[in-house]
A and B are shown apart, each in its own frame.
Chain A
Amino acid sequence: NAGVTQTPKFRVLKTGQSMTLLCAQDMNHEYMYWYRQDPGMGLRLIHYSVGEGTTAKGEVPDGYNVSRLKKQNFLLGLESAAPSQTSVYFCASSYVTGGRTDTQYFGPGTRLTVL
């Protein structure tokens, strides 16, 4: 049971390049999330998904797109990377039902630098 995994672990991009971050979970969780973490800012929600084929915007969605074609995968895309997108990106997933703990399980993160 690997939990939440993220690919790649590190990446350096030039301004204007595109890339896709992959998140996979093997816990059969319905909900998945993408966050970015910047110094002094905590974790900020980019996009999230409440099920296969559905996505929604979070707090800081601009410049990012997402897709959830399979329940276990959640992809985060940067179409034209900007230096302001230099950050550590975390994926999380959760199983939520009435009365149950709203626990989000996080992946190990992807460190992205945009030059």
Chain B
Amino acid sequence: QKEVEQDPGPLSVPEGAIVSLNCTYSNSAFQYFMWYRQYSRKGPELLMYTYSSGNKEDGRFTAQVDKSSKYISLFIRDSQPSDSATYLCAMSSLAEYGNKLVFGAGTILRVKS
């Protein structure tokens, strides 16, 4: 079993829809949770970062962490065609902070205009 599970999709939604992307994990030591966005044939770029549990909002993006369920989510409001990309969750434990991130496989998102 992988440490981090992520549905690869693809997830196809109409423009303006609310998108929900999710990851589950098995390692209870994970404390740092990130979402990266990767456009086709490009390197990943950090989108959201959350430490421990709770919510974090940045514009149209909201990241949620539920450590009791070992479940993290990324919500995108008013989705745009420019949001079409692969979204990778990543996480790290305190012990590995700065050294190792464990990535999910990535979810392909397509927003249709």
Contact = CB atoms under 8 A, between A and B. Distances in A.
A94 B98 contact: yes
Interface residues of B, number: 24
Nearest to B104: A42
A31 B43 contact: no
A45 B49 contact: no
A42 B103 contact: yes
Contacts of A45: 100-101
Nearest to B8: A40
Nearest to B4: A42
Contacts of A107: 43
Contact of B103 (A4, A43, A48, A109): A43
A48 B100 contact: yes
B32 A102 contact: yes
A94 B49 CA distance: 14
Given A101-B49, A102-B32, A103-B49, A108 B42 contact: yes
Ranked 3 nearest A-B pairs via Cβ: A106-B43, A96-B98, A42-B103
Interface of B: 4, 6, 8, 32, 34, 41-46, 49, 88, 90, 92, 97-101, 103-106
24 contacts: A31-B99, A40-B105, A42-B88, A42-B103, A42-B105, A42-B106, A45-B100, A45-B101, A48-B100, A50-B98, A56-B99, A59-B100, A90-B43, A92-B43, A101-B49, A102-B34, A102-B49, A102-B92, A103-B49, A106-B44, A108-B43, A109-B41, A109-B42, A109-B43
